[in-house]
Structure formats: structure tokens, C-alpha cells
């Protein structure tokens, strides 16, 4: 894999301070050499992202932890051993050489070893850290295929490594280990219970994201389509549909359990009933619904169970930001 010509080209671009988009198991990333502040600045320009939002540094393996973090608590080593490569980002105190451009000037750095053969081939061949946010314009739906990246960023990125559709489909779980107690800053495929099991201690769960402004995805508006989007409890769905249709709007419904309603100006789309498949499909589905240019997307609220926390989090933020041009 490392010998593939596109990997050599990607490494040459990274070394030259250019951007490369690459697949991970979660979403596609927009990568730059993490030790080159001018290259990292190009990421912010391409995304239209505020400069104080820190980036995750992607590493080829867990042995690199100490090169990037100056304090690596036991909990970090345990989580890295259990979940890397995989959809988990650890926030740790940074080594002094980690550029402010990457950390947003904070004293911490986000680190992750992604579980995708192309990403790992790139990282191994590059021999360094690749700073990469999701490869979408700021506030918009994250890309889960190479075509999504091109639709989002176009000419702003010289090379998109195409690794097919992402297997997980939503961004990594972020755990902050830079303070006393481990905290989940962003829910993802690895749950708080999975983490607690490895650490042998319970974590604060669920809505912990809301008071952590440094996590970009924790701003209310994020992952948003341009079409207005509402999340409605299954029991209220029929009433909500009736009310919206009565105003003459074209409405699309995405439902994972509610019984289909047939009506004029209503498009019904069934979503997977299990959380992992739902997450896998979510961004491509939102993108497709957005492109179809309905007046409104009504999404059946997911169950309030831990298995659905990450999906519920993304839907809630998509609902906040939808239909606006400027997300915060």
C-alpha cells in the first residue's frame, strides 16, 4: 500500500506544504504537515474555519504519543492500546514544539491513529503527524466519500485519496485527558461505556459537549444542510407533517421507526433502525436530501439511549445550523 504512486504523490505534497484529503474510517480529513504552520494555515483558508479552532493530529501509531504530548497519563496509554487505530481522539498536554496553528494556541493537542489502510499508509510513508479536520466547509456536513470532498472543497485541495465510503460515518469520539477526570467532549462510535470499561472508572456522560467551546462541533450550529431541518419525536411526527404540509411546503421525512405517511408534497425516506448503520449513512443521506431542495427536512428523533448519543448529537447540531449561511 505504501508503495502506491498516489501515496508517494501525497507525501510529496505534504512535504511541500500543500493539502491532501484522505479517507479515515470516520470521515474524510483535509491534511497538512502538522509541524508546518504555513501549511496548516491553508486548511483554515480552504475550510473557512476560524483560526482558534484546534485540529487533530493524525499519527501512524501509538508509539508517537510521547513525541506530541508532554504528559501521557496511564489512562491515555490504556485507551490508545485498546482503541487505536480507531475512532478515538485523545486530548493531552502538548509538547512545546506543537505549533499554535494546530492547537489554536491552547496548551493541549488532539491525537488520533485512524483505522483506514490508505490513511495509515500515508502516515507511515510521511513519517510525521498530519493535522486534519473533516474535509468540509466550516459548519457543513462532513464528507464520507471522495466525491463529497470534491463537492465541498473543489480546487482548494490538490489531491483527494479515494478510499471509498467511510465505514463508521461520523467523527471520532473525543476524550479530554488533559485535566483530572477524563471527559467525553464529543460522542462517537466508541461510547463513554466502552471507555469506562477500559479505564475501570465511570465517566461523565451525554451532554458534556455543550460547555466546551473549543470543540468546533460543540458550537450549536454544525454538520448542517442548507435546507431547514427539524428533529421531531416519533409520536409527534404525524402532527408535525400535517402542520408543515398545510403551509404548502414540500417536506421530506427521515424516519427509522415511524410508520410511513403518504401525502401530496411529502417524501418519506426510511432510515436504518440500528444506530451504527444509521451513523454510517447519516451524512450521505443528509447531503442527498439537501440536494433535492425540499423546503423542510423532518427527522424522527432517535431513541434517548447511549447507543444513539452520537447520532442524536449530530442531528441536534444539524438542526441548529440548517438553513443559515453563517454558522457560529
Binding-site ranges for ligand TXA (CB under 6 A): 24, 26-27, 29, 53-56, 87, 89, 91, 103, 106, 108-110, 112, 114, 132-134, 171-172, 174, 185, 214-217
Peptide bond into 85 cis (omega under 30): yes
Cβ proximity of 93 and 107 under 8 Å: yes
Least distance from C-beta 126 to Mg ion, angstroms?
Answer: 21
Which DSSP category does 259 fall into?
A: P
* Minimum distance from residue 105 beta carbon to ligand TXA (Å): 10
- Distance, CA of 103 to CA of 262 (rounded, Å): 50
Residue 324 CB, nearest distance to ligand TXA (Å)?
Answer: 19
Partner from Mg ion, ligand TXA, none contacting 55, C-beta within 5 to 8 A by type: ligand TXA
DSSP summary character for residue 224: B
Select the binding partner of residue 31 from Mg ion, ligand TXA, none (C-beta < 5 to 8 A, by kind).
Answer: none
Q: Which three cell numbers stand for residue 319?
A: 438542526
Which of ligand TXA, Mg ion, none binds 177 (CB below 5-8 Å, type-dependent)?
Answer: none
Exposure letters 165-193 (e unless 16+ CB within 10 A, then b)? ebbbbbbbbbbbbbeeebbbbbbbbbbbe
Question: What own/partner pairs with CB < 8 Å and gap ≥ 24 does 208-212 have?
Answer: 208/183, 208/184, 209/184, 209/185, 209/313, 212/176, 212/185
Q: Which is nearer to ligand TXA, 54 or 302 (CB)?
A: 54
Q: How many other C-beta atoms are found inside a 10 Å radius of the C-beta of residue 274?
A: 11
Q: Output 166 or 253, the one with its CB closest to ligand TXA.
A: 166
DSSP for 121-188, written as a single string: HHHHHHTS-EE--BSS-TTBPPPSSHHHHHHHHGGG-SEE----S-SS-SPPEEEE-SSSS-EEEE--
Nearer to ligand TXA by Cβ, of 113 and 241: the residue is: 113
Nearest to residue 42, comparing CAs of 126, 121, 133, 120?
A: 133
| C-alpha distances out from residue 270 to 144, 178, 275, 298, Å | 20, 41, 14, 12
Closest approach, Cβ 202 to ligand TXA, in A, equals 22
Dihedral sign computed on CA atoms, order 38, 54, 135, 292:
negative
Residue 109 binding partner per list ligand TXA, Mg ion, none, with a CB distance cut-off of 5 to 8 Å that depends on partner kind: ligand TXA
**Binds 250, which of Mg ion, ligand TXA, none (CB < 5 to 8 A, cut-off by type)?**
none
Q: In the bound complex, what is the minimum distance in angstroms from residue 109's beta carbon to ligand TXA?
A: 5
Which residues bind to Mg ion, rule: CB under 5 A?
134
Q: Identify which of residues 134 and 218 has a Cβ nearer to Mg ion in the complex.
A: 134
Nearer to ligand TXA, 207 or 243 (CB): 207
| Smallest separation (angstroms) from ligand TXA to the CB of 27 | 5
Least gap, CB of 316 to ligand TXA (angstroms): 15
Nearest residue relative to ligand TXA (C-beta): 133
Nearer to Mg ion, 28 or 308 (CB): 28
Q: Which does 225 bind (CB under 5 to 8 A by kind): ligand TXA, Mg ion, none?
A: none
Which residue is closest to Mg ion by CB? 134
190 binds, among ligand TXA, Mg ion, none (CB under 5 to 8 A by kind): none
Amino acid at each position: 500500500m505504501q508503495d502506491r504512486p498516489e501515496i508517494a504523490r501525497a507525501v510529496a505534497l505534504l512535504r511541500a506544504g500543500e493539502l491532501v484529503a484522505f479517507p479515515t474510517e470516520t470521515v474524510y480529513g483535509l491534511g497538512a504537515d502538522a509541524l508546518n504552520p504555513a501549511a496548516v494555515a491553508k486548511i483554515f483558508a480552504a475550510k473557512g474555519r476560524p483560526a482558534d479552532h484546534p485540529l487533530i493530529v493524525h499519527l501512524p501509531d501509538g508509539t508517537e504519543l510521547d513525541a506530541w504530548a508532554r504528559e501521557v497519563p496511564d489512562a491515555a496509554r490504556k485507551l490508545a492500546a485498546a482503541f487505536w487505530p480507531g475512532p478515538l481522539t485523545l486530548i493531552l498536554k502538548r509538547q512545546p514544539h506543537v505549533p499554535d496553528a494546530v492547537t489554536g494556541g491552547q496548551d493541549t493537542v488532539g491525537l488520533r491513529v485512524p483505522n483506514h489502510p490508505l490513511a495509515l499508509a500515508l502516515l507511515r510513508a510521511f513519517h510525521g503527524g498530519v493535522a486534519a479536520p473533516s474535509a468540509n466547509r466550516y459548519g457543513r456536513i462532513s464528507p464520507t466519500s471522495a466525491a463529497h470532498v470534491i463537492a465541498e472543497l473543489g480546487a482548494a485541495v490538490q489531491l483527494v485519496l479515494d478510499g471509498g465510503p467511510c465505514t463508521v460515518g461520523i467523527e471520532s469520539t473525543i476524550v479530554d485527558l488533559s485535566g483530572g477526570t477524563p471527559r467525553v467532549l464529543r460522542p462517537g462510535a466508541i461510547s463513554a461505556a466502552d471507555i469506562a470499561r477500559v479505564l475501570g472508572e465511570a465517566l461523565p456522560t451525554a451532554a458534556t459537549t455543550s460547555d466546551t467551546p473549543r470543540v468546533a462541533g460543540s458550537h450549536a450550529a454544525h454538520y448542517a444542510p442548507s435546507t431547514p431541518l427539524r428533529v421531531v419525536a416519533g409520536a409527534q411526527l404525524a402532527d408535525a407533517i400535517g402542520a408543515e404540509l398545510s403551509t404548502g411546503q414540500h417536506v421530506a421525512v427521515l424516519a427509522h421507526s415511524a410508520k410511513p405517511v403518504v401525502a401530496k408534497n411529502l417524501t418519506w425516506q426510511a432510515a436504518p433502525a440500528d444506530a451504527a448503520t444509521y451513523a454510517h449513512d447519516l451524512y450521505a443521506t443528509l447531503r442527498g436530501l439537501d440536494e433535492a431542495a425540499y423546503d423542510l427536512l423532518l427527522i424522527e428523533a432517535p431513541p434517548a439511549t447511549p447507543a444513539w448519543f452520537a447520532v442524536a448529537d449530530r442531528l441536534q447540531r444539524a438542526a441548529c445550523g440548517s438553513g443559515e449561511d453563517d454558522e457560529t
